Amino acid sequence: MKSVLDYIDANRDRFVDELVEWVRIPSVSSEPARAPDVRANADHLAAHLRGLGAGRIEVWPTAGHPAVFAEWLRAPGKPTLLVYGHHDVQPVDPLGEWITPPFEPAVREGRLWGRGVVDDKGQVYVHAKAVEAFVRTAGAPPINLKLLVEGEEEVGSVNLDALMREHTADLAADFVCVSDTAMFGRGIPSLCVGLRGLAYVEVFVDGPAFDLHSGSFGGGVANPVNALAKMIASLHDADGRVTVTGFYDDVRPLTATERAEIASLPFDEKAWLASTGAPATVGEKGYSTLERIWARPTLDCCGIGGGFQGEGAKTIIPARVSAKVSCRLVPDQDPDDVMRKLGEHLRRIAPPGVRVRVETLHGARPYLAPTDHPVYEVAKRAFSKAFGKPTVFMREGGSIPFVRTIADATGKPCLLMGFGQPDENAHAPNEWLDLSNYHLGIKSAAHLYDEIAHMGESGGKSG
């Protein structure tokens, strides 16, 4: 391993420069006009991996944006690890709030700033550079390694199931590693052992056929904006619980052990709150903040629009309004079931005088890792070797559709080894990547491959 780690040290700055080149490509998957950029982004990654001079590298088309697949199968008899990441990024608005432009990555304060630096391009390059270190010093990684880099994660991975069905054999592996999460805190190596799922719908409320004069008609017909506001306000009770009928039916209660594990983490709630800028924490009664964001289901209106939004005053009864409503799910909730219940509930609570239509957007299933599997000890050891500190187990409130899909399809454990920071501004203006995490992340990935190569040997690998 010494030559591999030395190589990573010696090339530290170049690894940053190469990531900068990739981050320049605006691979925003949600914007149709950016589709050619997402494609160019996939091609850039594929060309970069081909430049390593070994392995099979392909760009896989989908009905949407392409994925990149790579494999290095040069370790007969050794386990196969499938690594997953995504190459698409979130939109950049509000653009005016960026200190430096999102696609002109800049280094300041030991951080790289730009859209996608941590979510998820930097984390994909962590693995690409770890592979490079092995290819250049030893000819190939010490295990059989596959890399799948999706182009539609930020838009719900809608074509992923089809892609995985098409390539079942290519994706076969003994273990899976996903690097698309954050660490618990500065310098604390953290394995994420739980992700929430997602059920996302859009609700449309229609009233009159066109905007009406609110003097002539106000009071005589229903106002869709009033109606929707009332509906959304009724979706939580006074204890912060979701009122959608049947919402909690399949929620697996947190065990005393799980609660104790979460409570044992050194969570600085004040600092967490300060990082949000919000004036106070709120949430479901009877649960701590970490439990609320990691392990309890929630419902949020992510956006609402309708009626007069221009300057000044305009007196109308708007014809229509719509809102985007998303639920974060926990085991054993099912996204399709929750979307159905939410749709039925919204139609049922619609006040008289409006028409309500609910469209489903996308979903993801929640994940809980089988932490008693030996690969978790192996991953802890690898992570700790690079960062020099004990590795903690944590959860995330976010969702990664691939994780549960691959876990169910293969029955194999999925390691969530992420290198972000909780305040990294993912999805927000001024996203950043801690460059020491990037460097130590590359070493962690290298240690992970090495440790997996020696799995089963007594006591694992030391030194």
Cα separation, 162 vs 185, whole angstroms: 36
Q: Is 298 in the site for ligand BES (CB under 6 A)?
A: no
DSSP 100-157: S-TTS-EEETTEEESTTIIIIIHHHHHHHHHHHHHHHHHSS-SSEEEEEEES-GGGT-
6 contacts 444 by C-beta, under 8 angstroms:
no
For residue 8, the minimal CB distance to Zn ion (Å) is 26
398 binds, among Zn ion, ligand BES, none (CB under 5 to 8 A by kind): ligand BES
Candidate ranges 68-76, 231-239, 382-390, 398-406; the one touching ligand BES (CB under 6 A): 398-406
Candidate ranges 9-17, 114-122, 156-164, 346-354; the one touching Zn ion (CB under 5 A): 114-122
Q: Is 119 in the site for Zn ion (CB under 5 A)?
A: yes
Tokens of 223: 């106002």
Q: Is 197 in the site for ligand BES (CB under 6 A)?
A: no
Candidate ranges 179-187, 236-244, 384-392, 440-448; the one touching ligand BES (CB under 6 A): 179-187
Q: How far is CA 314 from CA 211, 308, 323, in A?
A: 11, 7, 21
Single residue of 37, 71, 132, 180 touching ligand BES by CB under 6 A:
180
72 contacts 131 by C-beta, under 8 angstroms:
yes
Site size with ligand BES, rule: CB under 6 A? 15
Give the helix, strand, coil percentages of the chain, each rounded to 5: 35, 25, 40
Q: Is 396 in the site for ligand BES (CB under 6 A)?
A: yes
Catalytic residue list:
88, 153
44 contacts 128 by C-beta, under 8 angstroms:
no
203 contacts 342 by C-beta, under 8 angstroms:
no
For residue 183, the minimal CB distance to ligand BES (Å) is 10
Q: Is 398 in the site for ligand BES (CB under 6 A)?
A: yes
For residue 344, the minimal CB distance to Zn ion (Å) is 30
Neighbours of 135 (CB within 10 A): 19
Amino acid at 50: R
Neighbours of 59 (CB within 10 A): 16
- Interface residues for ligand BES in 129-168 (CB under 6 A)? 153-154, 156
Which run of H or E residues covers position 206?
Answer: strand 197-206
- Interface residues for ligand BES in 350-369 (CB under 6 A)? 364
**Beta carbon nearer to ligand BES, 69 or 402:** 402
Single residue of 128, 198, 242, 339 touching ligand BES by CB under 6 A:
198
Q: Is 201 in the site for ligand BES (CB under 6 A)?
A: no
Candidate ranges 175-183, 208-216, 242-250, 264-272; the one touching ligand BES (CB under 6 A): 175-183
Binding site for ligand BES (CB under 6 A): 119-120, 153-154, 156, 180-182, 198, 364, 396, 398-401
